[in-house]
Structures are given as structure tokens and as C-alpha cells.
């Protein structure tokens, strides 16, 4: 009795935890399922994906940088003011070591003015800078498109993963129902002394393993559901119901050459690399422009007190302005800019090689994705044939077993092979569809 009281708090705690978990499961499972097509999933991913949102901010930032570069065409205007106290002015008429004569000066001085400068020519550096910012904007735009394509591919992977789990679950439930009926038949044979007890135990063991597989499938479905929810901005507990049917359509498949041609113009990687090469070229032009003369218009006007600009001086406020054209040329840039230009040229050449390498990589990726897609389509056809063969094999073995001409292991193996071929077909169709999306992603069409 004491032992019971000793463990009573633990028992109560376990009951409360089980009740809490059960209540939470009821709350989650009671949520209505949200039917979504793959197109709807992609639409939500484009809106709520944090990766896409960050790239969009980068695009907006690059637009502001273009505007900032264009604003450099406007004149530079500065205003300044100065106030100072001036000491007396000693004049050493008889030498520095003799007592000087003190001359009274006006002790307060101030200046208020403004200055403007308008650049006319600076080696075309301003236009080069604007073009560089535009090139960065194009890079940011292509990076956003690439990220969106990758997010759509990831969303499709989660969506198809859910479809595969749902198909597997449906196949497994049907097989479980068939296995339970078959177990009843085997138990009847055992009761009549036709088969051994080991046959019943083997059938029961297989049924238990399949039930465990069902638990794993439910967990896989829940995990893929949560991943998709996070990607498209839905609550973690929201259940999604994929409504897209079989999306395989071999008539849409193009030749490998057509995909390679599309990738050469549409691939986001190639487009980004092209703009990065153009940016390096502009940077080289910008460095070369450092040895160009600078020409501009300037104007300045100041109010000052006292008037000590012209002699004789006067204790009055005066105003004076200057306007004209200013030209300058940095002689030191002829030798300071030599190595900078060489570095910029080498970086441009390196970028050209990298661009060529990117094109090679894209060609290889397209070729591999195309072959893998064809391989997946072939696997689908083979899986369909395997189902026909496994179905006939299961029918034959079932007849022979219940006629006592084959073993229980043969029957269970035939059941397993039939279920596995059905799994293989579903997995092959899902893999082929995902491989098709991968091909579209590489060619810039997703």
C-alpha cells in the first residue's frame, strides 16, 4: 500500500501529461485542412518567403543607389560662416627684442557666404558610376529571381514529399486491410490444423511492422507539412492538403539542345555572371578615368566684416563674389594610377574566365538534369511493368499457399514485393516531377 502511495504522484503526473498531449493533438488535428495547388503554394512562397523578401530589399537598395549616383550630377552647394576674435597687432620696428609698437585693430571679424560647384567633365567617371549602379541593380534583380526559383523548387520538393507520404499512407492502409483479412484466413487454417502456428506468428509480425511504418509515414507527413508552412508563411499547425494530381506530361519535354539553348539566355547564373563581368569592365574604366582632367563651373559669394580685402581697410561690412570655370589635372595620378589600372584589368580578365566557367557549369547541370529526368521517366515505365508482374506473382503464390503447395514465407514475400512495386511507382513519379522542376530551375524557367 505504501508503494502505491509512493508512486501515486508520478502516475498522476503521467496522466496529466498524457491528457495535455492528447488535448493539444486534438486541437491541431481539429484544424480544417487547407487545400492548395502547387501554383498556390508558389504564389504564397513568392510573397512570404524570407529569402525572397531579403533579396527584394536588396533590389530596392540598388534602386536608391542609382538615384544617389544620378544626384551627383547636381551642383555641390555649401554654406559657411566664421566668427573670430583678433588680438592687437604688435609691430617690431626696432627688432624682435625691442618693445613693439601696438596697433589697434578691429577685434571682431566674421564671414558668411556660400559656394557652388558644377562638374562639367571628370573623365566620364560620373556616367561610369551610374552605369555601375545600374549593373548592380540588374545583379540584385537576377539574384532575387534565382532565389525565388530556388524557393519554388524547395516548396515543390516539400509539396511532392507530402504527396508521396499521402500516397504511401493510402497504399499501406489498403495493404493493412488486406493483410488483416489474410491473417484471419491463416488463423482459420491454423484452427483447422492445416498450417503451423509459426505461419500465424509470421503474418502477425509483418502486420506489426507495417503498422510501425504507418507511424513513420504520419511523422514524415507532419514534418514535410511544417517545413512547407514555414516556407509559405503559414502557422506550424496548419494542415495542408495537396490537391495537385499527376503532373507528369512527357509531351512537354524538349530536346537536350533546346534546354541548353534556353539556359544560355535564361539561366539566372549566366545572367548574374554576365552583369558581374560588365561591372568589372566599368570598374576598369573608372580607374582609367583617374588620369583625366577635371573641369567645372564655380561660384562663391561672401559677406565679411571688417573690410581688409583691399587697402585702405574700413570697419564696414562688405560683400564680394567670384564666378568662373575651374580646371585641374593630377600629375601624380600618372604614376599612382598605374598599378591600380593593372589590378582592375586583371580582375576583369579573371571575371571573364569565371563567366566562361559559369557557362560550362550550367551546360553540365542542364545535361545532367536532362539525363536524370529521362532516367526517372524510364523508371516510371519500369515500375508500371513491375506492378503487373508483382500482382500476377502474388495471385499465383496466394493460390498455391492456400492450396498448401507453397510456404508462408513465399506468400509474405509476394505481398511485400507487390506493395514495394506500388511504392516504387509512386516514388518514381514524384522523383520524375521533381527532376523536371530541377531542369526548369537550371534553365531559368521555373
Percent of the chain with pLDDT over 70: 91
Measured CA to CA, the distance from residue 360 to residue 76 in angstroms comes to: 48
Asked whether the predicted pLDDT for residue 8 surpasses 50, the reply is no
Q: Which of 160, 219, 168 has the alpha carbon at shortest distance from 42?
A: 160
In the Cβ-directed half-sphere of 159, how many Cα atoms lie within 13 Å? 29
**pLDDT at residue number 246:** 66
**pLDDT at residue number 143:** 93
**Regarding predicted confidence, which is higher, 300 or 87?**
300
| 52 assigned to some structural domain | no
Measured CA to CA, the distance from residue 176 to residue 199 in angstroms comes to: 17
Angle CA 81–83–87, to nearest 5: 150
Q: Quick one: cell of 212?
A: 510501425
Asked whether the predicted pLDDT for residue 304 surpasses 70, the reply is yes
65-110 residue pLDDT tens: 999 999 988 998 999 999 988 888 788 888 888 888 877 777 888 8
pTM of the model: 0.79
**pLDDT at residue number 249:** 62
In the Cβ-directed half-sphere of 428, how many Cα atoms lie within 13 Å? 20
Asked whether the predicted pLDDT for residue 20 surpasses 90, the reply is no
Q: Quick one: cell of 146?
A: 534565382
**pLDDT at residue number 363:** 92
| 14 assigned to some structural domain | no
Asked whether the predicted pLDDT for residue 313 surpasses 80, the reply is no
In the Cβ-directed half-sphere of 431, how many Cα atoms lie within 13 Å? 17
Residue range 290-311: mean pLDDT, rounded = 85
Q: Chain-wide mean pLDDT for the chain?
A: 84
Asked whether the predicted pLDDT for residue 60 surpasses 70, the reply is yes
**Regarding predicted confidence, which is higher, 147 or 202?**
147
3-class SS of residue 313? coil
Contact 317, 304 (CB under 8 A): yes
Domain total of the chain: 1
**pLDDT at residue number 22:** 39
Q: Which of 301, 322, 302, 304 has the alpha carbon at shortest distance from 313?
A: 304
**Strand 294-305 relative to strand 101-103, pairing:** unpaired
DSSP for 208-254 reads HHHHHHHHHHHHHHHHHHHHHHHHHT--TT--EEE-------GGG--
Please, which pLDDT band fits residue 15 given cuts at 50, 70 and 90? very low
| 4 assigned to some structural domain | no
Please, which pLDDT band fits residue 248 given cuts at 50, 70 and 90? low
By residue range, what is the domain housing residue 206? 63-442
**pLDDT at residue number 31:** 64
Q: What is the largest CA-CA distance in the chain?
A: 144
Q: Which of 78, 122, 124, 129 has the alpha carbon at shortest distance from 327?
A: 122
Residue with cell string 493533438: 25
| 156 assigned to some structural domain | yes
Please, which pLDDT band fits residue 311 given cuts at 50, 70 and 90? low
**pLDDT at residue number 199:** 78
| 268 assigned to some structural domain | yes
Beta strands in 54-107 (DSSP E): 76-85, 89-91, 101-103
Residue range 332-347: mean pLDDT, rounded = 90
Q: How many residues can be counted in the chain? A: 446
| 419 assigned to some structural domain | yes
Residue with cell string 491541431: 28
**pLDDT at residue number 9:** 39
Measured CA to CA, the distance from residue 294 to residue 122 in angstroms comes to: 5
Tell me which DSSP letter residue 140 carries: H
Measured CA to CA, the distance from residue 196 to residue 80 in angstroms comes to: 107
381-402 residue pLDDT tens: 999 999 899 889 888 888 887 8
| 138 assigned to some structural domain | yes
Percent of the chain with pLDDT over 90: 40
Please, which pLDDT band fits residue 16 given cuts at 50, 70 and 90? very low
Please, which pLDDT band fits residue 306 given cuts at 50, 70 and 90? confident
| 142 assigned to some structural domain | yes
Q: Quick one: cell of 261?
A: 539553348
Amino acid at each position: 500500500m505504501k508503494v502505491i502511495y509512493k508512486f501515486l504522484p508520478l502516475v498522476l503526473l503521467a496522466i496529466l501529461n498524457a491528457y495535455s498531449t492528447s488535448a493539444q493533438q486534438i486541437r491541431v488535428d481539429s484544424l480544417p485542412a487547407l487545400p492548395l495547388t502547387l501554383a498556390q503554394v508558389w504564389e504564397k512562397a513568392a510573397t512570404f518567403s524570407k529569402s525572397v523578401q531579403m533579396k527584394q530589399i536588396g533590389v530596392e537598395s540598388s534602386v536608391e543607389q542609382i538615384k544617389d549616383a544620378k544626384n551627383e550630377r547636381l551642383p555641390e552647394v555649401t554654406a559657411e560662416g566664421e566668427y573670430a576674435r583678433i588680438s592687437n597687432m604688435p609691430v617690431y620696428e626696432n627688432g624682435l627684442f625691442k618693445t613693439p609698437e601696438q596697433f589697434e585693430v578691429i577685434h571682431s571679424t566674421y564671414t558668411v557666404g556660400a559656394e557652388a560647384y558644377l562638374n562639367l567633365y571628370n573623365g566620364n567617371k560620373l556616367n561610369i558610376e551610374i552605369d555601375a549602379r545600374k549593373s548592380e541593380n540588374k545583379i540584385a534583380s537576377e539574384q532575387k529571381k534565382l532565389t525565388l526559383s530556388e524557393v519554388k523548387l524547395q516548396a515543390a520538393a516539400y509539396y511532392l514529399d507530402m504527396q508521396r507520404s499521402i500516397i504511401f499512407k493510402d497504399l499501406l492502409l489498403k495493404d493493412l486491410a488486406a493483410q488483416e483479412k489474410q491473417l484471419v484466413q491463416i488463423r482459420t487454417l491454423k484452427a483447422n490444423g492445416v498450417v503451423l502456428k509459426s505461419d500465424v506468428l509470421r503474418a502477425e509480425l509483418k502486420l506489426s511492422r507495417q503498422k510501425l511504418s504507418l507511424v513513420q509515414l504520419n511523422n514524415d507527413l507532419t514534418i514535410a507539412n511544417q517545413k512547407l508552412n514555414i516556407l509559405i508563411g503559414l502557422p506550424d499547425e496548419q494542415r495542408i492538403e495537396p490537391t495537385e494530381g499527376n503532373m507528369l506530361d512527357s509531351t512537354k519535354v524538349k530536346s537536350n539542345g533546346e534546354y541548353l539553348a534556353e539556359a544560355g539566355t535564361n539561366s539566372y547564373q549566366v545572367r548574374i555572371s554576365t552583369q558581374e563581368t560588365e561591372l568589372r569592365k566599368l570598374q576598369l574604366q573608372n580607374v582609367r578615368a583617374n588620369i583625366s582632367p577635371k573641369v567645372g563651373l564655380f561660384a562663391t559669394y561672401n559677406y565679411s566684416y571688417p573690410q581688409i580685402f583691399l587697402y585702405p581697410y574700413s570697419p564696414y561690412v562688405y560683400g564680394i563674389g567670384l564666378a568662373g570655370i575651374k580646371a585641374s589635372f593630377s600629375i601624380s595620378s600618372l604614376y599612382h594610377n598605374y598599378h591600380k589600372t593593372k589590378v582592375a584589368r586583371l580582375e576583369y580578365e579573371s571575371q571573364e574566365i569565371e563567366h566562361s566557367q559559369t557557362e560550362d557549369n550550367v551546360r553540365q547541370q542542364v545535361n545532367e538534369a536532362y539525363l536524370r529526368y529521362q532516367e526517372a521517366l524510364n523508371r516510371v515505365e519500369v515500375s508500371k511493368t513491375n506492378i503487373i508482374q508483382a500482382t500476377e506473382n502474388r495471385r499465383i503464390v496466394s493460390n498455391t499457399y492456400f492450396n498448401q503447395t507453397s510456404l508462408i514465407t513465399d506468400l509474405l514475400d509476394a505481398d511485400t514485393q507487390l506493395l514495394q512495386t506500388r511504392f516504387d511507382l509512386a516514388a518514381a513519379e514524384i522523383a520524375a516531377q521533381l527532376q523536371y522542376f530541377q531542369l526548369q530551375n537550371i534553365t531559368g524557367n521555373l
